[in-house]
Structure 1
Amino acid sequence: MAHSRCPSDGLLARVNFPLYAVDMLTSRHILVAGGGGSSKTGVANGFEIYELYHNGTHFCAEEVLRHETGSNVVMNFALRIGGRRGYLCAGQEAHCQMYYIQPRVLSEDKGHGNGVSDEKPAPADWSHGRGNLRQRNAHSGVESVTNGNKHPLSTADILRQSQQLLFDIQAADVVQTDFLKGAEPLQRVVRISGNGQLMATGGTDGHLRVWTFPQMTLAAKLAAHSKEIDDLDFSPDSKVIISISKDAQGVVWELASGHIQHKLQWKTPEGAKYLFKRCRYGTVEAQKNNYRLFTIANPLGKVGKQRGFLQHWDCASGQLRQAVAIEESLSSLAVRDDGRFVAVGTMFSGSVSMYIAFSLQRVLHIPNAHSMFVTGIQFLPITNEAGPPISSDTEAAVLSISVDNKVCIHSLPQRRIIPAWMAIAFLIVMIFAAFVLCSFIGI
């Protein structure tokens, strides 16, 4: 079982199996997955769900659910939530297994003083609890709880109305998504489009398959690459999808026609061969119909801490706009939901870094965050699609996982900005002081 509390940035939880995938289930629930495979090593396979909160000084996590998947390790997954049912599509060897995720409420009746839990089996909405939010009190440095208005609840009210969101996971349909001949097929990646209508999978046979969602019926099959697909991502408008592969190709496809929109091409350092490792789209702040494309790339056949690159591409032309060299190979990539920040995890040192998206300026670096390579990274959301974001004194926070079994969090402190009125007042005072000084010395 996981350790549930963390005193500061860094370790949030430790799971008893290697971790390969992470995402936010809601605005305050983390879902991680992995396992030890089908070998009889005693290492489990499955999912863990944690509730994340900020207590006024640091982030904490509490285990909500553990779901084991038998002999099937979960190497990748995609989530789609909304209404009263969520969908979890998990890569298990050559197949994609769908799970239904049903939220429900556990209320603790503490008014009787007997500590008895009264479980409510009735389903809850994913946004349940929006009116019962933890919010940091700026004066006390601790969190208060509100009931949907500006007046915080009393301690007695909190105890009486304490509620926890729980989840039931139920296996549903399964489809085979990879058909490599002569070797073991394996699904490497699965994504769900932003409009929730399509699912895409890629694996060792190099084919990009597009499925209707949630029916999971095959809509298109593209012979996209000559080698296995490493990553996919839908554009925010769900009109195109990018696929990257071990054949060193990055290709953007038009979903309506199945045609290539463009290929990613760049001048590699000293003519060395590089392979794209991960790809992610991100929106441009305050521009819903505009977006950026980010990739990470590593040198081929190099051993040791060779330079990897974080890259920003122009989505209209497919041309490389910016690139920043990082002094080792990269393993994971994430873009925050508002498009302001990008984060990467490294292959050898297990480090995590955060960058400003439009300039690729590094603003946070956590060396040796993990003892092994970072297998997954994910920002805490700031939008309200599945409930309000967690209140904290940080500008951005990112989760990271690794095969070292650890779930960690890394936050960027809030940058202090002088209010405009204060800057204007200071300028007026300085002008007045300069005028008085000039008058005094007779200038």
Structure 2
Amino acid sequence: MSWIRTRPRPRPPHLRPPWWHLVEAEARAGAACPTRWSSPPSTPALQGRLQRSHPSPLGTEEQVPYRMAVHPRGDGVLCAFPNGCRLVRWESPEGDDQHSLVLRSDQEALVKLNDVGLQLAVSFSGEGSILATGGEDGHLRVFKWPGMETVIEEPNAKTSVKDLSFSSDEMFLVVNRSSGPSRVWDLKSSEALANLPREQGEIFGFCRFSTKSDNSQILFVTAMQGDYGKIISWNTSSWTRIGSKKVTRDVISAFSVSPDGTLLAIGNIEGSISVLGSRDMRVVLTVKKAHLGIVTTLVFSQDSRALLSTSFDSTARVTSTESPKSDGISLWSMVLAIILGILVYYYMQHKEDLLAMLPQ
């Protein structure tokens, strides 16, 4: 599930706003069906009319895609099947209905990933110029896109790849495995740059880079340690820990960082979601039982004002991440004014008695 920006066909000026599209890939038995939700930029994702496209499912010969990655510039959806990967491209047909989609499978784009087995992690870089996949067999593959020239290849039959994340400047790639440390790769030199060690009892889960207000970057890694789920932050110059906080007692099943870098979101196996401030990791919003099943994916909108979550229960939910705004006097101000009013009234009614109690 990913937000991409696309431009419509030439139209009159008043009908030419760029649209943000949320591409959510539905996996059905024997079919892969990317679904596009659209919202104009002038309308917040929450309040705007998210218009859903209904493309025809693309037959996949009874195979269900386990992982999907959407190209950020609209170059298709990579689908990871048990025996390898395929690329599904979408096209908007001619006509006035800009929300309809026509799907086609590109058989030539991913020849190097046709028979590589199940990939547990697939991701495009932020600009879409690099593709990385990590297999159940532990094999890490990184390619330039769309030429598919190999950048990094690391066979590893001992530990499966759990998650991977690109830095926004496309200089680094972090890879989490089922055991052992996280590894940081330099994408320019194609060399391993650092290993991020675990503390005793930690099991790393998700990893995400985030850009701070001064344009420096920080790396967040989720981990389970005993009965607690925690978020660890890492300095991306020295690759040392700079913070860690326990944030939940449930297993973290999904993780996301907002595009503006101010918010983090976690989903758990109980179907609840929480939004935290990235600086102090304090919870600013919790939705208990947002879903009836495990939260599988979390994605912030491009303006960081909304969070979309999906679940094994086949539901999708959009949650506002904005702080409620006051339309006038705040509730606490009103309560304080009432209390002061009562005190003044009591004083006026019992002024003489109160003065008599004072020492002469």
Query: After superposition, where does 1:7-22 map in structure 2 within 5 Å?
Result: 22=1
Offset at 1:61?
3.2
Say if 2:288 is the partner of 1:367: yes
Aligned position for 1:208: 140
* Residue deviations 1:97-154 (CA, integer Å, cap 9, x gap): 12233345753xxxxxxxxxxx6xxxxxxxxxxxxxxxxxxxxxxxxxxxxxxxxxxx
2:33 to 32, 42, 46: 46
C-alpha contact (below 8 Å) 1:295/1:310 kept by paired residues: yes
Q: Distance in 2 between matches of 1:212 and 1:55?
A: 34
* Residue deviations 1:209-235 (CA, integer Å, cap 9, x gap): 111211234343113673110111111
Partner amino acid, structure 1, of 2:111: V
Distance 1:330 1:257, change over 3 A: same
Partner amino acid, structure 2, of 1:170: R
Q: Distance in 2 between matches of 1:56 and 1:358?
A: 25
1:327 to 249, 262, 265: 249
C-alpha contact (below 8 Å) 2:222/2:229 kept by paired residues: yes
Higher RCO (Cα < 8 Å, 6 or more apart): 1
Aligned position for 2:267: 345
Partner amino acid, structure 2, of 1:369: A
* Residue deviations 1:391-436 (CA, integer Å, cap 9, x gap): xxxx721000011000111112335499xxxxxxxxxxxxxxxxxx
Partner amino acid, structure 2, of 1:202: G
Q: Distance in 2 between matches of 1:206 and 1:56?
A: 38
Aligned position for 1:291: 217
Q: Distance in 2 between matches of 1:197 and 1:56?
A: 27
Say if 2:286 is the partner of 1:354: no
Aligned position for 2:104: 170
Q: Distance in 2 between matches of 1:222 and 1:408?
A: 37
* Residue deviations 1:161-218 (CA, integer Å, cap 9, x gap): xxx44433321133354877xxxx3111111123432211101111211112112343
C-alpha contact (below 8 Å) 1:377/1:401 kept by paired residues: yes
C-alpha contact (below 8 Å) 2:79/2:86 kept by paired residues: yes
> TM-score, structure 1 length as denominator?
0.63
What stretches of structure 2 of length at least 5 have no aligned partner? 6-18, 328-360
Query: After superposition, where does 1:28-43 map in structure 2 within 5 Å?
Result: 28-37=20-29
- After TM superposition, what 4+ stretches of structure 1 lie above 6 angstroms from structure 2? none
Say if 2:172 is the partner of 1:193: no
Q: Distance in 1 between matches of 2:95 and 2:244?
A: 48
Aligned position for 1:376: 297
Aligned position for 1:422: none
Q: Distance in 1 between matches of 2:162 and 2:183?
A: 12
Q: Distance in 2 between matches of 1:166 and 1:313?
A: 43
Offset at 1:81?
4.4
Q: Distance in 2 between matches of 1:52 and 1:403?
A: 25
Distance 1:106 1:323, change over 3 A: farther
Percent of aligned pairs sharing the same letter: 22
Say if 2:331 is the partner of 1:409: no
Distance 1:363 1:294, change over 3 A: same
Aligned position for 2:346: none
Q: Distance in 1 between matches of 2:234 and 2:209?
A: 10
Q: Count the aligned residue pairs.
A: 307
C-alpha contact (below 8 Å) 2:45/2:306 kept by paired residues: no
Distance 1:45 1:98, change over 3 A: closer
Aligned position for 2:203: 275
2:86 to 89, 97, 100: 97
C-alpha contact (below 8 Å) 1:265/1:319 kept by paired residues: no
Query: After superposition, where does 1:73-222 map in structure 2 within 5 Å?
Result: 73-82=64-73, 86-103=75-92, 106-107=95-96, 164-172=98-106, 173-177=109-113, 185-222=117-154
Say if 2:333 is the partner of 1:399: no
Offset at 1:363?
0.7
Partner amino acid, structure 2, of 1:35: A
- Secondary structure, in 3 states, of the residue corresponding to 2:101? strand
Q: Distance in 1 between matches of 2:83 and 2:150?
A: 15
Offset at 1:237?
1.0
Say if 2:53 is the partner of 1:64: yes
Distance 1:178 1:56, change over 3 A: closer
C-alpha contact (below 8 Å) 2:163/2:175 kept by paired residues: yes
The root-mean-square deviation of aligned C-alpha atoms, in Å, is 2.8
* Residue deviations 1:17-70 (CA, integer Å, cap 9, x gap): xxxxx21233632222242546xxxxx543222234768984553321334242
Q: Distance in 2 between matches of 1:35 and 1:211?
A: 25
Partner amino acid, structure 2, of 1:50: W
Q: Distance in 1 between matches of 2:47 and 2:167?
A: 34
Aligned position for 2:3: 24
What stretches of structure 1 of length at least 5 have no aligned partner? 1-21, 39-43, 108-118, 120-163, 383-394, 419-443
Q: Distance in 2 between matches of 1:202 and 1:186?
A: 9
Q: Distance in 2 between matches of 1:377 and 1:356?
A: 16
Distance 1:240 1:56, change over 3 A: closer
